[in-house]
């Protein structure tokens, strides 16, 4: 599905079904240097089970044009603008939208729900930590040597099992696919995204102000957003449910797609 936001072409995958604003809406928000395709299986399930799905390509990522947005706040406002544009959870039927975000997308979902609470029924934060500091080494590599930065992220984002393989999707090599997807994004996007995560410092205030229920899905072997950080975030949210996926790294949707889907189903459907 293509539409225009802020004068730029934007894209959202609708899960293989036409988008219907009259249905409960689930918005999937990818992480740094990714696109909608990281949610392939989960978004497809919701689209075929009575939900209107928008798995977005954030500005400057995938099929969405324009420069990448420089802050989590700007990304949150962009999501709100998207919902307004498609008429999801509008004022006539408030509270129908679920935001599902991974990593940088989880910060975007949290901030969006805090800044624009009217449309949002619930949020699911996958592979999350607040704050989400990024090391100087990784930020520097993202600025000066993207290939090296992608290698660092690939090494840190996958569990010991994910690093060896045994992918749920037959024939797919997890590390190769993750690397190629990152390489598909234009130069500069990675540093922009990591800098935005690093600079988002008031996430705990947003969590404390959250008016809707939240689900936190963590991987027990996540080295990018450690489960302990996710637990601290959970403690700050009034209405929260936490799910830990045993053995999963940061790339949860690819490593354990069914477990992520089941956790989301239990929360949303």
Partner 1 sequence: MTYNFDTLALHAGQVPDERYGARATPIYLTTSFVFKDSDQAAALFNMERAGHVYSRISNPTNAVLEERIAALEGGVGAIAVASGQAALHLAIATLMGAGGHIVASRSLYGGSHNLLDYTLPRFGITTSFVDPRDLDAWRAAIRPETRLLFGETLGNPGLDVLNIPEVAALAHHHGLPLMVDSTFTTPWLMRPFDHGADLIFHSATKFLGGHGVAIGGLLVDGGSFDWDKSGKFPTLTEPYEGFHGMDFSEESTVAAFLLRARREGLRDFGACMSPMTAFQLLQGMETLPLRMARHIANTRQAVEHLTRSEAVASVGYPELEDHPDHALAQKLLPRGAGSVFSFNLKGGRAAGRKFIEALRVFSHLANVGDAKSLVIHPASTTHFRMSDAALVAAGIHPGTIRLSIGLEDAGDLLEDLNRGLAAAQKI
Contact call for residue 9 and partner 1 (CB under 8 A): no
Q: How many residues sit close enough to partner 1 to count as binding (CB under 8 A)?
A: 36
Pairing, β 97-102 against β 8-13: unpaired
- Name the minimum Å distance from CB 184 to partner 1: 6
Q: Is 165 in the site for partner 1 (CB under 8 A)?
A: yes
Among the listed ranges 75-83, 114-122, 124-132, 178-186, the one in contact with partner 1 (CB under 8 A) is 178-186
| CB contact at 8 A, 118 and 91 | yes
3-state secondary structure of 29: strand
Do 79 and 112 contact (CB within 8 A), yes or no?
yes
Residue 216, CA distances (Å) to 144, 177, 237 in order = 33, 25, 10
Binder among 35, 111, 146, 193 for partner 1 (CB under 8 A): 35
Peptide bond into 131 cis (omega under 30): yes
Residue 135, both tokens: 């090391």
38's CB contacts (< 8 A; 6+ apart) are 30, 31, 102, 181, 253, 254
Indicate the residue among 180 and 228 with the shorter CB distance to partner 1: 180
Does 183 sit near partner 1 (CB under 8 A)?
Answer: yes
Residue 37 binds partner 1 (CB under 8 A)? yes
SS3 at position 17: coil
Residues 60-99 that bind partner 1 (CB under 8 A): 62-63
Under rule CB under 8 A, residue 2 binds partner 1 = no
Positions that interact with partner 1 (CB under 8 A): 13, 16, 35, 37, 40-41, 44-45, 48, 62-63, 151, 154-155, 161, 163-173, 175-177, 180-181, 183-184, 257-258, 261
């Amino acid at each position: 599905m293509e539409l225009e936001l802020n004068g730029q072409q934007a894209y959202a995958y609708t899960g293989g079904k036409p988008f219907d604003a009259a249905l409960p809406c689930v918005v999937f928000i990818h992480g740094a240097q990714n696109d909608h395709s990281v949610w392939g299986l989960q978004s497809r399930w919701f689209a075929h089970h009575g939900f209107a799905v928008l798995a977005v390509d954030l500005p400057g990522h995938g099929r969405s044009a324009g420069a990448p947005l420089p802050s989590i706040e700007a990304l949150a406002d962009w999501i709100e603008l998207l919902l307004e544009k498609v008429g999801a959870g509008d004022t006539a039927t408030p509270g129908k939208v679920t935001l599902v975000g991974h990593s940088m997308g989880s910060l975007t979902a949290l901030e969006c729900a805090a800044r624009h609470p009217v449309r949002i029924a619930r949020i699911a934060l996958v592979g999350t930590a607040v704050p989400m500091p990024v090391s100087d080494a990784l930020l520097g590599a993202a600025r000066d040597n993207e290939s090296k930065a992608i290698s660092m992220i690939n090494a840190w984002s996958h569990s010991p099992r994910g690093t060896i393989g045994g992918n749920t999707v037959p024939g797919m090599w997890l590390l190769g696919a993750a690397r190629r997807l990152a390489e598909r994004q234009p130069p500069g996007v990675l540093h922009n995204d990591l800098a935005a995560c690093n600079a988002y410092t008031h996430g705990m205030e947003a969590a404390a102000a959250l008016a809707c229920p939240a689900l936190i899905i963590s991987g027990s072997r996540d080295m990018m957003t450690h489960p302990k950080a996710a637990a601290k975030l959970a403690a700050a949210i009034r209405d929260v449910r936490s799910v830990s996926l045993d053995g999963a790294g940061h790339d949860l949707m690819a490593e354990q797609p069914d477990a992520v889907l089941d956790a989301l189903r239990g929360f949303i459907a």
